[in-house]
Amino acid sequence: MTASKKTSKYGASDIQVLEGLQAVRKRPGMYIGGTGIDGLHHLIWEVVDNAIDEAMAGFCSEIKVIVHPDNSVTVTDNGRGIPVERHKQTGKSALETVLTVLHAGGKFGGEGYKVSGGLHGVGVSVVNALSTHLRAEVHRDGQAYVQEYKDGGKPVSALKKTGKVADTGTIISFNPDPKIFEVIEFDYQKILDRLRQQAYLTKGVHVKLIDERTSKTYGYYFEGGIKSYVEHLNHNKEIVNKEPFYVEKQIGSTNIEIAVQYTDSYKENVQSFANNILTPEGGTHITGFRTALTKAIKDYAKKTGFLKETDGTLAGEDVREGLSAVISVKLPDPQFEGQTKAKLGNPEVQNQVQTVLSEYFSYYLEENPTEAKAIIGKCLLSARARLAARAARDTVIRKGALEGMTLPGKLADCSSKDASKSELYIVEGDSAGGSSKQGRDRTFQAILPLRGKILNVEKARIDKMLSSEEIKILIIAMGAGIGENYDIEKMRYHRIIIMTDADVDGAHIRTLLLTFFYRNFPELIERGYLYIAQPPLYAVGSGKNKEYAYTDAEKDKILEKLKSKTDNKISIQRYKGLGEMNPEQLWNTTMDPEKRVLLQVTAEDAERADEVFSMLMGDAVDPRKRFIQTHAANVRNLDV
């Protein structure tokens, strides 16, 4: 290396480059979201996203991710290869520019259809900045090139030609910097989930994961793209329209891909993406989709005379029950909005999606009368159920069953009238109810025993549950009413605690109750009023001492400790039900605020319970069987 070249190494642009990469190292969170496990994986996503861009542009058909034993990673693709010619602005190779200048990724390289993900497409330079070592190999124009970097993006040497090759592509290997990341341990499943999703969204690309730490490998290739994705989302469910609806269409500069398949569940599962980036908060593409879907189904139902069945009513929510759909749009300049940048904002996309779906979904209904009839039938069923549920609620309320009714005799109320300090324990079974009534602190703890058998109705429909005597009592005890008269401010307790046995029946009843709350009192969960009690699984004792264990691991720990401390005989009692505990034990282990552990129910827990409920109660037998088999050995975690 000559002296003049050496000085040019420290030119103004180099200083800028170093400052840029230094900024990334100073505040990694701004570029990759954080330095925890998600941030770490972001390094892989960054490189893979670039390879996916190549695939979307039609130049790449294979992407391979290798996790090495030392948790360094190699991503290989057979795209065009990062350009290597001299870059005018920086005076360096395009490759070095891409790897050392922030946001340089898509700025050059021709008019290739390069759609990059905005926030997420921060550029491979960020990966370089956060690695102790990075090696880039490019195959392009019959030639192989290599350049290496160290210490957060400093070139070890100039770009080198290393031989002739017949293929094209890019191979990037990097070692995440332990000074930046809290833990450097890649998660096989996490990478695989992401690769699967990307493979669905980019049809025709082969993606492969090789984990050299464990010798596990897995690959994906989906000819059907998001059509396969929607089928995957539904693999556990009973399908309504066998052949999914699928369309791919370009309008203006937006590419639109939509797949729709209904299931007999109550839930809606719509996944939307813009430039392969998940948009959990929706946005203009989702708005356009919903408008068009409701209208197309309603128009078809009207035309075919079906709409008479519900006196002309078909609401958006009826069309969304059991709906599974994937919507993927790709556009040159996506605007991501909202707190977490998880919502698409481009206004033109709404009409574009609406136009495409209106035309092609109506066409699909016309052309596939069997599927169309099944879909309309499902939507009308939802509408009828909604109308019936409302009528049932109205009847319950009109009958005055809830109003003016005195508190049920089964309820052992607390003396406090301050809701913020009061707790309602919903206890499974009369015997446990008895123990907890005796064991409680009656100033602020109320007990409502529920007879499991009554709740445990096979195929219980939620709207039927409302007519169950047990549930009515529960609603009266809570004091906030239901339906039109519902007022959460009237809740008599700000802690509702579900206390069931640690067995299959207990888990079943808990699922049922969670589902009941989730569907009828979502606000209660949002406010954090709903809890699950955690009774111990074991009492381990030696002599006068007694300790309680809430998991098998805890029991083993206590045993280990006791064995080294005592020669006394150690007894282990396995509690099969709450009923086996006396009032004092119940208080000490599960009800005393000083000692108990309560699980606060989140919307996610409840939603999962709802899914499990649909599965356990629904008609699709196979997934139910499979679920029960997989979980039979793990009854404590049957649902949440």
Nearer to ligand 0RA by Cβ, of 175 and 228: the residue is: 175
Q: Which is nearer to ligand 0RA, 34 or 109 (CB)?
A: 109
- To the nearest whole angstrom, how small is the minimum distance from the Cβ of residue 222 to ligand 0RA? 21
Q: Name the phi and psi angles at 584, rounded to 5.
A: -70, -40
Q: Which is nearer to ligand 0RA, 130 or 513 (CB)?
A: 130
User: Whole-number minimum distance, CB 273 to ligand 0RA, in Å?
Assistant: 20
Nearer to ligand 0RA, 40 or 101 (CB): 101
SS (H, E, C) 151-196: CCCEECCCCEEEEECCCCEEEEEEEECCCCCCCCCCCHHHHHHHHH
CA distances (Å), 496 to each of 438, 599, 601, in order?
Answer: 19, 11, 10
List the structure tokens of 234.
């539904």
CB of 174 to ligand 0RA, least distance (A): 12
Q: How far is the CB of 104 from ligand 0RA (least distance, A)?
A: 8
* Cβ nearer to ligand 0RA, comparing 109 with 118: 109
Neighbours of 468 (CB within 10 A): 16
Residues in contact with ligand 0RA by the rule CB under 6 A: 47, 50-51, 54, 77, 79-80, 82-83, 98, 105, 109-110, 112, 124, 170, 172
Tokens of 150: 């160290």
Among 428, 605, 611, 639, the one annotated catalytic: 428
Nearer to ligand 0RA, 202 or 228 (CB): 202
The helix or strand, by DSSP H or E, that contains position 271, with its residue range, turns out to be strand 269-274
Whether 422 and 416 have beta carbons less than 8 Å apart is answered as: yes
Q: DSSP assignment, residue 60?
A: -
- The C-alpha atoms of residue 432 and residue 429 are separated, in whole angstroms, by 6
Tell me how far the alpha carbon of residue 624 is from its chain's centroid.
21
295, HSE (Cβ side, Cα atoms, 13 Å): 13
Cα–Cα distance, 595 to 603 (Å, whole number): 25
Residues 28-61 as b/e (b if ≥16 CB within 10 A, e otherwise) read beebbeebebebbbbbbbbbbbbbbbbbbeebbe
Cβ of residue 124: shortest distance to ligand 0RA, in angstroms? Answer: 5
Least separation in angstroms between residue 35's CB and ligand 0RA is: 23
501 is catalytic: yes
Residue 497 CB, shortest distance to ligand 0RA, in Å, is 53
The DSSP 8-state label assigned to residue 35 in this structure reads: S
Q: In this complex, which beta carbon is closest to ligand 0RA, that of residue 79 or of residue 439?
A: 79
Alpha helices, DSSP H only, in 238-328?
284-303, 316-320
Q: Which one of 14, 348, 503, 580 is the catalytic residue?
A: 503
Our measurement of the distance from residue 611's CA atom to the centroid of its chain's CA atoms, rounded to an integer in Å, reads 13
Nearer to ligand 0RA (CB atom), residue 47 or residue 477: 47
Going across the sheet that includes 277-278, the strands are 245-251, 254-262, 323-330, 269-274, 277-278
Distance CA 576, CA 200 (A): 46
Active-site hit among 177, 211, 231, 505:
505
Of 125 and 272, CB closest to ligand 0RA: 125
Is the Cβ–Cβ distance between 476 and 407 less than 8 Å? yes
Residue 224 burial by CB count (10 A; 0-12/13-18/19+): exposed, middle or buried?
Answer: middle
Nearest distance in Å: CB 65, ligand 0RA: 12
Closest by CA position to 558, among listed 539, 543, 574, 577:
539
Tokens representing residue 337 in the block: 């909005």
Is 503 among the catalytic positions? Answer: yes
Tokens encoding 295 = 């209208």
Please say which residue, 124 or 612, places its beta carbon nearer to ligand 0RA.
124
Residue 75: CB minimum distance to ligand 0RA, A: 7
- Where would I find the H helices in 566-634? 583-586, 603-617, 621-631
Question: Closer to ligand 0RA at the Cβ: 110 or 409?
Answer: 110
481, 402 Cβ separation under 8 angstroms: yes
Question: Has 428 been annotated as catalytic?
Answer: yes
Encoded amino acid at 234, one letter: N
How far apart CA 356 and CA 352 sit, in angstroms, is 6
Q: How distant, in Å, are the alpha carbons of 60, 75, 170, 220 from that of 64?
A: 11, 6, 11, 10
Q: How many residues belong to the chain?
A: 640
Least distance in Å: CB of 525 to ligand 0RA? 43
Give burial (CB, 10 Å; 0-12/13-18/19+) of 273. Answer: buried
Catalytic hit among 238, 257, 321, 501: 501
Task: Report in angstroms how near the CB of residue 127 gets to ligand 0RA at its nearest.
Answer: 9
Catalytically active residues are 428, 501, 503, 505
